[in-house]
Structure 1
Amino acid sequence: MTNITNLTYKNLSNLFAEIAYMNEDKSYVEVTFKKLEDYCGFRIINLYRPSFWTNDPLNAFAYYWLSHGILLHNVDIEKEMITFYVDLKNEISSNISENDFPYLYEEFTKPTKEDVDYYLSIYQRDQQRISDDTILKNLFSTEMPSNTKFNQVSIKVAAIDQYFSRNLYHFRTIARHIVNLNIDKDLETGNSEIVNEIAKVKFSSYKEINNYKFATRYCYYHNPEEFPFYDPVIKDIINEHKRTSRIGGILQQDFLNYTKYKNILKKFRSYYGFEEYSLEDITIYLYYYGMSKFPKKYAKLFQKE
């Protein structure tokens, strides 16, 4: 895992100060990945994701080039080259067009209530998904709401494994783990901390597996209103909106901390004025919206589920 330290930020600040000083009479400046890596101390290729390469001042890395009057213009992953625009006179707004600076403009339009309703209607027309969700909600909340009996919990764990092709490792151990947690009251009251406890299963003194996505589904089918499910496509779509808006205070690791993940969903809902929708609605909307925006990445998973 990349270790980003205070020294890294200081080095980056020095680099962009140097770029601004040495290129004050130029517009576009190319910087190789290697040069940036020499200052960072780690491989830039490991950070090649849309949420990093942005001119959003809320992005910790972008702050360092923006604070020196520099804008990100282009990232060429094949040539391992980054192009910056030295904008010391702050003329960017009048001289640079949207086509010149795609990193400054939204690729994702601001979502509306009509958008939410549209993707919720797609969900309602998805007969296979509606059928699966209805069966699982009935199994979890009506037929077997308790989680104190090993056989019943095993059935529920196996059901999620079957319906969502999770290929869970040793689901009987997972079922025993859930029984030992005594989670019924937590599920009823919506205690979000229980999700991460369910997710982390210890199989031996040296082997622990984090079934986070499974754990969110397990809680969701018991209490959909209090436990919106997690899926990577939801994280990706929120990251895109974060990159092209001013939704601040969202860290990548927060998505895998269920209490913080739930707060992210609330923040997204509040930011766009979607308070009339439940968190379950917001999650379903983001899930189907994400599937439409990233078809190549998630088509295979979508077919499974």
Structure 2
Amino acid sequence: MILIEPSKENIEDHFDKLKNPSTNNTYLRTVDIISMAVNTYSENNKEAHVLAKAILINKLYNTNIISIDKVANHIVEKNVHQSINTGKTQAVKEITSGHGVISKKKGSEYKFYSFATKYCFSHNPESFPIYDRNIDTALCEYKKMSINKEKKFINFKKSELKDYDTFIRVLSDFKSDFYLEDLPNDYIDKFLWSQGDAFLKNKKNKTLSMK
């Protein structure tokens, strides 16, 4: 499957389609609902307020976190409010681990990296781009497509996208390489998410057809 060229025109067209009521897309409703909660409970120092936001983000973004109450308490204890407001990536790192939620299968603590980026994004979208599997996939596929085109963003290994500072650098270079600097993070996020989603579904269908 060939991904759509990440031009400004294509990305804006993609987002305009999302805003069209006839598409019945849930993305903008998800963002609106979470934004209402964040605006109502803007601070991150009260467990009930953080828990309400965390439950919504976990549910609407399908991050599948167990023991969300532990994670909410952890966010309060880490006192990340100022870091989120000022765009310090340390906030993502502090939310990701240290919460004490243990995988029974692996016997080690879960890394709630995707959730952490989505929590921070919901409070400060221009400082905290979202990481998830689909976006990871899209960036890796665009890297393959651009390997001989002298693009800056291709200088990463897949595993390095799990380091948030590297992930932000790759996204920044991606925007620069394709002249997307004036587009907001949510436009880039949703475009990459949709491209990664389409790629993975196509790959899954091909695998099933071969069985």
Quickly say closer, same or farther: Cα 1:289–1:187, change in 2 above 3 A: same
Partner in structure 1 of residue 196 of structure 2: 290
Structure 1 or 2, whichever has the larger Rg, is 1
Total equivalences in the alignment: 193
Partner in structure 2 of residue 169 of structure 1: 66
The one-letter amino acid of 1:249's match is N
Identical columns (%): 25
Deviation of the 1:260 alpha carbon: 1.3
- Is 2:31 the counterpart of 1:133? yes
Separation in 1, partners of 2:54, 2:37: 11
Quickly say closer, same or farther: Cα 1:197–1:204, change in 2 above 3 A: same
What's the CA shift string for 1:89-142, capped at 9, x where partnerless? xxxxxxxxxxxxxxxxx94464322211122123223542211210101211x1
Query: Quick one: which of 257, 261, 268 aligns to 2:163?
Result: 257
Deviation of the 1:298 alpha carbon: 8.2
Separation in 1, partners of 2:25, 2:141: 29
What's the CA shift string for 1:253-281, capped at 9, x where partnerless? 22111121111111100011112212232
Deviation of the 1:201 alpha carbon: 3.3
Partner in structure 1 of residue 172 of structure 2: 266
Separation in 2, partners of 1:276, 1:298: 34
Between structures 1 and 2, the one with greater strand share = 1
Deviation of the 1:297 alpha carbon: 5.6
What's the CA shift string for 1:150-170, capped at 9, x where partnerless? 111111111122223333121
Partner in structure 1 of residue 142 of structure 2: 241
Matched ranges for 1:114-129 at <5 A: 114-125=9-20, 126-129=24-27
Contact 2:3 2:199 in 1 (8 A): no
Contact 2:70 2:101 in 1 (8 A): no
Quickly say closer, same or farther: Cα 1:183–1:202, change in 2 above 3 A: closer
The one-letter amino acid of 1:123's match is L
- Give the TM-score, by structure 2 length: 0.82
Q: Specify the SS of the correspondent of 2:6.
A: coil
Separation in 2, partners of 1:223, 1:215: 12
The one-letter amino acid of 1:195's match is V
Deviation of the 1:175 alpha carbon: 1.0
Separation in 2, partners of 1:185, 1:170: 25
Quickly say closer, same or farther: Cα 1:287–1:122, change in 2 above 3 A: farther
Separation in 2, partners of 1:132, 1:230: 17
Q: Specify the SS of the correspondent of 1:208.
A: coil
Deviation of the 1:204 alpha carbon: 7.4
Separation in 2, partners of 1:290, 1:151: 35
Query: Quick one: which of 38, 54, 59 aligns to 1:157?
Result: 54
Query: Quick one: which of 75, 95, 111 aligns to 1:198?
Result: 95
The one-letter amino acid of 1:164's match is Y
Separation in 1, partners of 2:69, 2:43: 17
- Is 2:18 the counterpart of 1:112? no
5+ long unaligned stretches in structure 2: 206-211
Separation in 1, partners of 2:61, 2:186: 18
Which structure has more RCO (C-alpha within 8 Å, separation ≥ 6)? 2
Separation in 1, partners of 2:101, 2:170: 33
Contact 1:119 1:289 in 2 (8 A): no
The one-letter amino acid of 1:257's match is D
- Is 2:181 the counterpart of 1:275? yes
